[in-house]
Structure 1
Amino acid sequence: MPGHPFSTVIITKNEAENIRPCLAAIRHVCTDIIVVDAQSTDKTPDICREMGARVFEKAWEGYSENKNFGNARARHDWILSVDADEVLSPALIETLENWTPRPKTVYALDRISSFCGQWIRHGAWYPDWKIRLFDRRVVQWTGDFVHEKPDYPPDFKVVRLKGKLYHYTCKDPSEFYARLDQYARLAALEMFEKGQKPSFFKQFFSPGFRFFRDYFLRKGFLDGRAGRDIARANACVVSRKYARLKELYQTKHRGN
């Protein structure tokens, strides 16, 4: 590991099926791996400890909160943020082995996602550059329930690193749709907490626009049936999100 030292932070909950490949790849380039586990009921914490990670138990308080909690417990100031269902490619490992940080810079990784075994190269899922390597002294995760993002100074430069970050999203459609349903509920709650009002126009027209954008404008059709299914699912999430937001406001008004 001749490169500049950094710590890796991963948040988990019931990721026993995914975490081994994730950790195995990271161990090539990092000796300080922090796992923030949100009270898993499977063997996730045991597997992480077995593979050399330091595990901290923390009740789920949102993506940003749990990620920042992990960052604060790292041994190094530079943080690589990875999800449990992501794996560093050999090319990305090589890049990190030779990486040296620059001042006023954050680093983005070229994430590519699989859908039921097929790599998606168009539509809403690709390209998908994610800022995942940064200095915790000047960068924090922000956001509430679903839209977490790294907050960095405006004069910082974003540098793209070579090599893919493999993202294994789901093994079957049912798993995928279950995740999207949860995402829609959390997104609606986030909008509700921010005071965003229900909109008839958005509820009925945004889903169609989302499908048109992802499938046609972003060429999701080039991924075949998978591209169509993803575009449909994204449109469905938008519809459910606004429907759920309306339900939250109706419940609030009945309570008053």
Structure 2
Amino acid sequence: MNKITVTIITLNEEYNIKNCIESVVKICDEVIVVDSKSTDDTVKIAKSMGAKVYVQKYQGDGPQKQFGVQYAKNNWILSIDADERLDQDMVAEIQNIDLIKNEYDAYSFARKNFVGKKWIKAAGFYPDNVIRLYNKKTCQYSDKKSHSFVQADRVKKLNSHIIHYTYLSYQNWIERINTLSTRDAWAMQQKGVRASKATPIIHSIVAFLRKYIFKGGIFQGLDGATVTITTVFHVYMKYIKLLELQENEKTTK
């Protein structure tokens, strides 16, 4: 077996964490969970499955994912989210890689994004390539507090998939947009991004054009329209919330 440490960041993921860990145990000899002070049974479940759990307040996507790497005993890291799973083809493909004798710093995979039981492919939802398996000696997560990514030079794309249970349902999709747009607004504020009253509208128009026109949503029926509308809504809300944070700053000074 390759020597791989799996890292997972969590916040109230009791619904997902068991299945997530079960999907990776065949390809790793260590699982590290960095928990953002969950109030449910996430930590208890993770520990019961043999994971090493470290708890700290959420520092943003990149910093939180990078935090667990310092505790990893192995050089090779597989970073996944709690709502992601490895399919059997991915398990087999990783098992067949020689991580000791190889010329790559990292490996990327396509993600299959699901809403409930439906695989959504439209408007850029597939293949959604992401780097998740990487050598910590030569790679690391960017320090972006939202939508961070692994910084790597020599990357090989593999043929297998990560299964991403993005949203439990369309209702959950809207609920998650509310949560994630709040987090994104906070991350932008921390970075020093400023918004004007025109910013939410301008960025929403850009998001619409990108998803519906350039990503082909216009040709992909209901799914294309759904992805476009929800993306525009997400973008609009994160910038309107950033404006709200700016207004709150003024009233507290």
**Structures share a fold, TM > 0.5?**
yes
The C-alpha deviation readout for 1:110-169, integer Å capped at 9, x for no partner, is 1110013211122132221111111112222223431212233xxx22211121100001
Whether the aligned pair in 2 keeps the contact of 1:120 and 1:223 (CA below 8 Å) is no
Moved more, 181-190 or 30-39: 181-190
Moved more, 197-206 or 6-15: 197-206
Whether the aligned pair in 1 keeps the contact of 2:62 and 2:144 (CA below 8 Å) is yes
Compute the displacement of 1:216 (Å).
3.3
Whether the aligned pair in 1 keeps the contact of 2:105 and 2:155 (CA below 8 Å) is yes
Q: Kindly provide the amino acid, as one letter, of the partner of residue 243 in structure 1.
A: I
Cα distance in 2 for residues equivalent to 1:145 and 1:182? 15
Whether the aligned pair in 2 keeps the contact of 1:115 and 1:226 (CA below 8 Å) is no
Moved more, 73-82 or 203-212: 203-212
Alignment partner, residue 80 of structure 2: 82
Cα distance in 2 for residues equivalent to 1:38 and 1:218? 34
Unpaired stretches in structure 1, ≥5 consecutive residues: none
Whether the aligned pair in 2 keeps the contact of 1:146 and 1:183 (CA below 8 Å) is no
Describe the SS at the equivalent of 2:223.
helix
Compute the displacement of 1:66 (Å).
2.2
Describe the SS at the equivalent of 1:229.
helix
Alignment partner, residue 134 of structure 1: 134
Identity %: 29
- Size of the alignment, in residue pairs? 251
Compute the displacement of 1:85 (Å).
0.6
Whether the aligned pair in 1 keeps the contact of 2:35 and 2:56 (CA below 8 Å) is yes
Whether the aligned pair in 2 keeps the contact of 1:39 and 1:57 (CA below 8 Å) is yes
Moved more, 18-27 or 205-214: 205-214
Describe the SS at the equivalent of 1:108.
strand
The C-alpha deviation readout for 1:205-245, integer Å capped at 9, x for no partner, is 32133123213331235554333222111101111122122
CA distance change for structure 1 residues 189 and 88 in 2, over 3 Å: closer, same or farther? same
Whether the aligned pair in 2 keeps the contact of 1:77 and 1:135 (CA below 8 Å) is yes
Cα distance in 2 for residues equivalent to 1:19 and 1:50? 11
1:53 and 2:65 matched? no
Taking only aligned residues, the RMSD between alpha carbons, in angstroms, comes to 2.0
Alignment partner, residue 166 of structure 2: 169
1:190 and 2:187 matched? yes
TM-score of the two chains, using structure 1 as the length reference? 0.89
Describe the SS at the equivalent of 1:160.
strand
Residue of structure 2 aligned with 1:157, choices 154, 159, 167: 154
